[in-house]
Amino acid sequence: MSDRRGPAGARIKRAVGWPARRLLDPRVEWTVSQIDDRLGSLQDTRDTVHERFDALEGRLDALEQLERSVLHAVGHVVGPENELEVGLERLAPATAALLNWANGPHGFAAQAGLWFNPPAPVEHREGGVDLLHVNERIAEQPWVFGAVAVATGGAPARLLDVGGAESTVGISLASLGHEVTLVDPRGLRLEHPGLEVVAERLERVPADLGPFDVAVVLSAVEHFGLEHYGTPQGVPRADVEAIARVRELVRPGGGLVLTVPIGEPSVDAFQRVYDLDGVRELVAGWQVDELTVVRQQDRMTWVRAAADAPDDHRRGVAMVRAHRD
Protein backbone atom coordinates (compact mmCIF):
# COMPACT_ATOMS: atom_id res chain seq x y z
CA MET A 1 0.00 0.00 0.00
CA SER A 2 1.03 3.65 -0.39
CA ASP A 3 2.14 6.00 2.31
CA ARG A 4 2.49 9.77 2.52
CA ARG A 5 5.47 9.61 0.13
CA GLY A 6 3.26 8.40 -2.70
CA PRO A 7 2.75 5.18 -4.67
CA ALA A 8 5.56 2.66 -5.14
CA GLY A 9 6.33 3.63 -8.72
CA ALA A 10 6.74 7.32 -7.87
CA ARG A 11 8.98 6.52 -4.89
CA ILE A 12 11.30 4.39 -7.04
CA LYS A 13 11.47 7.06 -9.69
CA ARG A 14 12.44 9.73 -7.16
CA ALA A 15 15.01 7.42 -5.57
CA VAL A 16 16.96 7.04 -8.84
CA GLY A 17 16.17 10.43 -10.34
CA TRP A 18 14.09 8.80 -13.01
CA PRO A 19 14.31 9.37 -15.97
CA ALA A 20 16.35 12.58 -16.02
CA ARG A 21 19.57 11.07 -14.66
CA ARG A 22 19.98 8.42 -17.34
CA LEU A 23 19.13 10.95 -20.05
CA LEU A 24 21.25 13.89 -18.86
CA ASP A 25 24.15 12.49 -16.85
CA PRO A 26 27.03 11.52 -19.22
CA ARG A 27 28.41 9.13 -16.62
CA VAL A 28 25.18 7.16 -16.73
CA GLU A 29 25.25 7.20 -20.54
CA TRP A 30 28.81 5.88 -20.57
CA THR A 31 28.01 3.23 -17.96
CA VAL A 32 25.00 1.86 -19.80
CA SER A 33 26.99 1.83 -23.07
CA GLN A 34 29.65 -0.29 -21.40
CA ILE A 35 26.92 -2.60 -20.09
CA ASP A 36 25.38 -2.86 -23.55
CA ASP A 37 28.79 -3.68 -25.01
CA ARG A 38 29.44 -6.39 -22.42
CA LEU A 39 25.97 -7.87 -22.99
CA GLY A 40 26.38 -7.75 -26.75
CA SER A 41 23.34 -5.51 -27.14
CA LEU A 42 25.20 -3.18 -29.54
CA GLN A 43 26.04 -5.99 -31.96
CA ASP A 44 22.73 -7.82 -32.13
CA THR A 45 19.00 -7.24 -31.81
CA ARG A 46 18.70 -7.64 -28.03
CA ASP A 47 17.22 -4.74 -26.09
CA THR A 48 19.67 -2.13 -24.88
CA VAL A 49 19.80 -1.12 -21.23
CA HIS A 50 17.88 2.07 -22.11
CA GLU A 51 15.16 0.00 -23.74
CA ARG A 52 15.03 -2.26 -20.73
CA PHE A 53 14.76 0.80 -18.48
CA ASP A 54 11.87 2.03 -20.64
CA ALA A 55 10.10 -1.31 -20.28
CA LEU A 56 10.64 -1.29 -16.52
CA GLU A 57 9.33 2.28 -16.29
CA GLY A 58 6.22 1.21 -18.16
CA ARG A 59 5.68 -1.64 -15.72
CA LEU A 60 6.11 0.71 -12.76
CA ASP A 61 3.54 3.09 -14.25
CA ALA A 62 1.12 0.20 -14.68
CA LEU A 63 1.76 -0.91 -11.09
CA GLU A 64 1.13 2.62 -9.83
CA GLN A 65 -2.16 2.78 -11.75
CA LEU A 66 -3.20 -0.62 -10.37
CA GLU A 67 -2.34 0.55 -6.86
CA ARG A 68 -4.56 3.61 -7.28
CA SER A 69 -7.39 1.43 -8.62
CA VAL A 70 -7.21 -0.90 -5.62
CA LEU A 71 -7.21 2.00 -3.18
CA HIS A 72 -10.21 3.51 -4.94
CA ALA A 73 -12.04 0.19 -4.77
CA VAL A 74 -11.70 0.03 -0.97
CA GLY A 75 -12.90 3.59 -0.51
CA HIS A 76 -9.71 5.66 -0.59
CA VAL A 77 -9.05 8.71 -2.71
CA VAL A 78 -5.52 9.63 -3.77
CA GLY A 79 -5.09 13.38 -3.50
CA PRO A 80 -2.99 15.69 -5.67
CA GLU A 81 0.06 15.27 -3.43
CA ASN A 82 -0.21 11.47 -3.56
CA GLU A 83 -1.69 11.48 -0.06
CA LEU A 84 -4.53 9.14 0.79
CA GLU A 85 -7.81 10.82 1.62
CA VAL A 86 -10.46 8.64 3.23
CA GLY A 87 -13.91 9.09 1.73
CA LEU A 88 -16.53 7.65 4.10
CA GLU A 89 -19.21 7.88 1.43
CA ARG A 90 -17.13 5.49 -0.69
CA LEU A 91 -17.09 2.74 1.93
CA ALA A 92 -18.32 -0.38 0.11
CA PRO A 93 -20.30 -3.23 1.74
CA ALA A 94 -17.52 -5.78 1.23
CA THR A 95 -14.95 -3.44 2.77
CA ALA A 96 -17.28 -2.68 5.68
CA ALA A 97 -17.72 -6.40 6.35
CA LEU A 98 -13.95 -6.91 6.29
CA LEU A 99 -13.40 -4.03 8.73
CA ASN A 100 -16.07 -5.36 11.10
CA TRP A 101 -14.42 -8.78 11.14
CA ALA A 102 -10.87 -7.42 11.36
CA ASN A 103 -11.76 -5.19 14.33
CA GLY A 104 -13.66 -7.92 16.17
CA PRO A 105 -12.69 -10.72 18.58
CA HIS A 106 -11.70 -13.08 15.75
CA GLY A 107 -9.95 -10.63 13.40
CA PHE A 108 -6.31 -10.02 12.63
CA ALA A 109 -5.63 -7.96 15.76
CA ALA A 110 -7.21 -10.65 17.94
CA GLN A 111 -5.14 -13.33 16.23
CA ALA A 112 -2.06 -11.27 17.04
CA GLY A 113 -3.10 -10.90 20.69
CA LEU A 114 -3.88 -7.21 20.25
CA TRP A 115 -7.67 -7.07 20.62
CA PHE A 116 -8.87 -5.35 23.81
CA ASN A 117 -12.62 -5.65 24.32
CA PRO A 118 -13.84 -2.05 23.76
CA PRO A 119 -16.78 -0.67 25.79
CA ALA A 120 -18.38 0.92 22.71
CA PRO A 121 -17.53 -1.01 19.52
CA VAL A 122 -18.49 0.44 16.16
CA GLU A 123 -20.04 -1.16 13.08
CA HIS A 124 -19.01 -0.25 9.55
CA ARG A 125 -21.68 -0.25 6.85
CA GLU A 126 -21.97 0.95 3.28
CA GLY A 127 -21.13 4.64 3.30
CA GLY A 128 -20.95 5.05 7.08
CA VAL A 129 -20.04 3.90 10.58
CA ASP A 130 -22.43 3.49 13.52
CA LEU A 131 -22.17 2.60 17.18
CA LEU A 132 -22.86 -1.14 17.45
CA HIS A 133 -23.72 -1.21 21.16
CA VAL A 134 -22.37 -0.33 24.59
CA ASN A 135 -21.29 -3.35 26.59
CA GLU A 136 -20.74 -3.98 30.31
CA ARG A 137 -17.15 -2.71 30.18
CA ILE A 138 -18.56 0.82 30.22
CA ALA A 139 -19.42 0.29 33.92
CA GLU A 140 -16.98 -2.43 34.93
CA GLN A 141 -13.74 -0.65 34.14
CA PRO A 142 -14.33 2.61 36.04
CA TRP A 143 -15.84 0.63 38.92
CA VAL A 144 -12.69 -1.52 39.12
CA PHE A 145 -10.45 1.54 39.31
CA GLY A 146 -12.56 2.96 42.13
CA ALA A 147 -12.70 -0.35 43.99
CA VAL A 148 -8.93 -0.79 43.77
CA ALA A 149 -8.43 2.75 45.10
CA VAL A 150 -10.65 1.96 48.10
CA ALA A 151 -9.04 -1.42 48.73
CA THR A 152 -5.51 0.01 48.64
CA GLY A 153 -6.29 3.26 50.44
CA GLY A 154 -5.07 5.08 47.35
CA ALA A 155 -1.48 3.90 47.84
CA PRO A 156 0.60 1.89 45.34
CA ALA A 157 0.16 -1.84 45.95
CA ARG A 158 0.95 -5.30 44.60
CA LEU A 159 -1.95 -6.32 42.39
CA LEU A 160 -2.89 -9.62 40.74
CA ASP A 161 -4.83 -9.30 37.45
CA VAL A 162 -6.48 -12.62 36.55
CA GLY A 163 -7.49 -13.26 32.94
CA GLY A 164 -6.66 -9.79 31.64
CA ALA A 165 -5.33 -10.66 28.18
CA GLU A 166 -8.16 -8.79 26.42
CA SER A 167 -8.16 -5.79 28.73
CA THR A 168 -6.07 -2.66 29.21
CA VAL A 169 -6.98 -2.45 32.93
CA GLY A 170 -3.75 -4.14 34.05
CA ILE A 171 -1.49 -1.72 32.21
CA SER A 172 -3.66 1.20 33.37
CA LEU A 173 -3.21 0.15 36.99
CA ALA A 174 0.54 -0.17 36.41
CA SER A 175 0.53 3.32 34.92
CA LEU A 176 -1.10 4.57 38.13
CA GLY A 177 1.87 3.32 40.15
CA HIS A 178 0.80 -0.19 41.16
CA GLU A 179 3.00 -3.26 40.77
CA VAL A 180 0.82 -5.53 38.63
CA THR A 181 1.21 -9.23 37.85
CA LEU A 182 -1.14 -10.39 35.08
CA VAL A 183 -1.86 -14.13 34.88
CA ASP A 184 -3.42 -15.40 31.66
CA PRO A 185 -2.36 -18.38 29.51
CA ARG A 186 -2.69 -16.16 26.42
CA GLY A 187 -0.12 -13.69 27.72
CA LEU A 188 -0.28 -9.98 26.95
CA ARG A 189 1.39 -7.96 24.20
CA LEU A 190 1.35 -4.72 26.21
CA GLU A 191 4.46 -3.79 28.20
CA HIS A 192 5.10 -1.51 31.17
CA PRO A 193 7.88 -1.35 33.80
CA GLY A 194 5.27 -1.96 36.49
CA LEU A 195 3.61 -4.90 34.72
CA GLU A 196 4.73 -8.53 34.84
CA VAL A 197 2.96 -11.02 32.58
CA VAL A 198 2.75 -14.68 33.52
CA ALA A 199 1.46 -16.71 30.54
CA GLU A 200 0.09 -19.59 32.58
CA ARG A 201 -3.16 -21.01 33.89
CA LEU A 202 -4.05 -19.73 37.35
CA GLU A 203 -4.00 -23.16 38.99
CA ARG A 204 -0.44 -23.71 37.77
CA VAL A 205 1.20 -20.54 39.08
CA PRO A 206 3.50 -21.13 42.07
CA ALA A 207 2.45 -20.05 45.54
CA ASP A 208 5.50 -17.83 45.86
CA LEU A 209 4.12 -15.59 43.10
CA GLY A 210 2.22 -13.86 45.92
CA PRO A 211 1.30 -12.54 48.30
CA PHE A 212 -0.70 -9.76 46.67
CA ASP A 213 -2.51 -6.86 48.28
CA VAL A 214 -5.49 -7.01 45.91
CA ALA A 215 -6.65 -9.38 43.16
CA VAL A 216 -8.65 -8.09 40.18
CA VAL A 217 -10.82 -10.62 38.33
CA LEU A 218 -12.60 -8.65 35.62
CA SER A 219 -15.11 -10.56 33.46
CA ALA A 220 -12.91 -13.65 33.51
CA VAL A 221 -13.83 -16.34 36.00
CA GLU A 222 -17.24 -17.02 34.42
CA HIS A 223 -15.36 -18.52 31.44
CA PHE A 224 -12.95 -20.74 33.36
CA GLY A 225 -13.12 -24.45 32.61
CA LEU A 226 -15.63 -24.17 29.74
CA GLU A 227 -15.34 -25.72 26.29
CA HIS A 228 -15.09 -22.46 24.35
CA TYR A 229 -11.82 -21.77 26.15
CA GLY A 230 -10.17 -25.06 25.36
CA THR A 231 -11.45 -27.46 28.01
CA PRO A 232 -13.10 -30.24 25.94
CA GLN A 233 -14.80 -32.02 28.85
CA GLY A 234 -15.39 -28.88 30.86
CA VAL A 235 -14.58 -28.35 34.53
CA PRO A 236 -17.96 -27.77 36.22
CA ARG A 237 -16.79 -25.52 39.06
CA ALA A 238 -13.49 -24.20 37.79
CA ASP A 239 -14.84 -20.75 38.70
CA VAL A 240 -15.17 -21.59 42.39
CA GLU A 241 -11.75 -23.27 42.36
CA ALA A 242 -10.21 -20.19 40.74
CA ILE A 243 -11.53 -17.76 43.35
CA ALA A 244 -10.32 -20.12 46.09
CA ARG A 245 -6.88 -20.12 44.40
CA VAL A 246 -6.92 -16.33 44.25
CA ARG A 247 -7.58 -16.27 47.99
CA GLU A 248 -4.42 -18.31 48.54
CA LEU A 249 -2.39 -15.75 46.57
CA VAL A 250 -3.74 -12.72 48.45
CA ARG A 251 -2.31 -11.78 51.84
CA PRO A 252 -4.48 -11.86 54.99
CA GLY A 253 -6.52 -8.67 54.97
CA GLY A 254 -5.98 -8.34 51.23
CA GLY A 255 -8.77 -7.60 48.78
CA LEU A 256 -10.73 -9.06 45.89
CA VAL A 257 -12.25 -6.97 43.08
CA LEU A 258 -14.53 -9.19 41.01
CA THR A 259 -17.06 -8.74 38.18
CA VAL A 260 -19.31 -11.49 36.79
CA PRO A 261 -22.57 -11.70 34.79
CA ILE A 262 -25.74 -11.72 36.88
CA GLY A 263 -29.22 -12.79 35.84
CA GLU A 264 -31.10 -16.05 35.36
CA PRO A 265 -28.55 -18.77 36.32
CA SER A 266 -27.17 -20.64 33.31
CA VAL A 267 -24.07 -22.34 31.94
CA ASP A 268 -23.15 -22.89 28.31
CA ALA A 269 -19.93 -23.56 26.43
CA PHE A 270 -18.98 -19.88 26.63
CA GLN A 271 -19.86 -18.55 30.07
CA ARG A 272 -21.76 -18.87 33.33
CA VAL A 273 -24.42 -16.43 34.52
CA TYR A 274 -25.01 -16.17 38.27
CA ASP A 275 -27.93 -15.17 40.40
CA LEU A 276 -27.34 -13.48 43.75
CA ASP A 277 -26.96 -16.80 45.56
CA GLY A 278 -24.48 -17.92 42.93
CA VAL A 279 -22.38 -14.80 43.46
CA ARG A 280 -22.35 -15.44 47.21
CA GLU A 281 -21.28 -19.04 46.62
CA LEU A 282 -18.49 -17.85 44.34
CA VAL A 283 -16.98 -15.58 47.01
CA ALA A 284 -17.40 -17.99 49.93
CA GLY A 285 -14.52 -17.46 52.36
CA TRP A 286 -14.32 -13.74 51.58
CA GLN A 287 -15.89 -10.92 53.55
CA VAL A 288 -18.00 -8.88 51.11
CA ASP A 289 -17.57 -5.12 51.55
CA GLU A 290 -19.53 -3.96 48.51
CA LEU A 291 -21.90 -5.51 45.98
CA THR A 292 -22.97 -3.31 43.07
CA VAL A 293 -25.20 -4.41 40.21
CA VAL A 294 -25.69 -2.69 36.87
CA ARG A 295 -28.16 -3.84 34.23
CA GLN A 296 -28.55 -3.17 30.54
CA GLN A 297 -31.51 -0.87 29.97
CA ASP A 298 -31.22 -0.90 26.20
CA ARG A 299 -28.57 -1.49 23.55
CA MET A 300 -26.73 1.70 24.48
CA THR A 301 -27.46 2.16 28.20
CA TRP A 302 -26.41 0.50 31.47
CA VAL A 303 -27.92 1.62 34.79
CA ARG A 304 -27.32 0.83 38.43
CA ALA A 305 -29.91 -1.50 40.00
CA ALA A 306 -30.67 -2.86 43.45
CA ALA A 307 -28.62 -6.01 44.06
CA ASP A 308 -31.66 -7.89 45.41
CA ALA A 309 -34.13 -6.65 42.80
CA PRO A 310 -36.10 -9.43 41.05
CA ASP A 311 -34.52 -10.61 37.84
CA ASP A 312 -36.27 -9.03 34.86
CA HIS A 313 -34.24 -10.92 32.23
CA ARG A 314 -32.05 -7.95 31.43
CA ARG A 315 -28.31 -8.52 31.10
CA GLY A 316 -26.50 -7.50 34.25
CA VAL A 317 -23.13 -7.44 35.95
CA ALA A 318 -22.40 -8.02 39.63
CA MET A 319 -19.34 -6.12 40.90
CA VAL A 320 -17.93 -7.30 44.23
CA ARG A 321 -15.32 -5.79 46.50
CA ALA A 322 -14.32 -8.14 49.33
CA HIS A 323 -11.41 -8.94 51.65
CA ARG A 324 -10.03 -12.06 53.30
CA ASP A 325 -9.59 -12.44 57.05
Number of domains in the chain: 3
Do residues 166 and 284 both lie within one domain?
A: yes
Do residues 51 and 145 both lie within one domain?
A: no
Do residues 75 and 104 both lie within one domain?
A: no
Do residues 109 and 207 both lie within one domain?
A: no
What is the tens place of the pLDDT at every residue in 216-251?
999 999 999 887 776 666 667 999 999 999 999 999
Do residues 176 and 239 both lie within one domain?
A: yes
Tell me the whole-structure pTM to 2 decimals. 0.74
Do residues 228 and 284 both lie within one domain?
A: yes
Q: How high is the pLDDT of residue 21? A: 46
Which domain covers residue 75, as residue numbers? Answer: 8-87
Do residues 99 and 124 both lie within one domain?
A: yes
Do residues 118 and 265 both lie within one domain?
A: no
Task: Identify the CA nearest to 290 among candidates 251, 321, 248, 325.
Answer: 321
In a domain, 54, yes or no: yes
Q: How high is the pLDDT of residue 47? A: 62
String of DSSP letters for 221-232: GGGTT-GGGT-T
Q: Please give the single-letter amino acid code of residue 299.
A: R
Per DSSP, 45 falls in state S
Do residues 160 and 305 both lie within one domain?
A: yes
What is the tens place of the pLDDT at every residue in 94-141?
889 999 999 999 999 999 999 999 999 999 999 999 999 999 999 999
The CATH number given to whatever domain includes residue 258 is 3.40.50.150
Do residues 216 and 147 both lie within one domain?
A: yes
Check: CB of residue 86 under 8 Å from CB of residue 75.
Answer: yes
Q: How high is the pLDDT of residue 231? A: 66
In a domain, 3, yes or no: no
DSSP strand pairing (195-198 vs 212-218): unpaired
In a domain, 2, yes or no: no
In a domain, 68, yes or no: yes
In a domain, 294, yes or no: yes
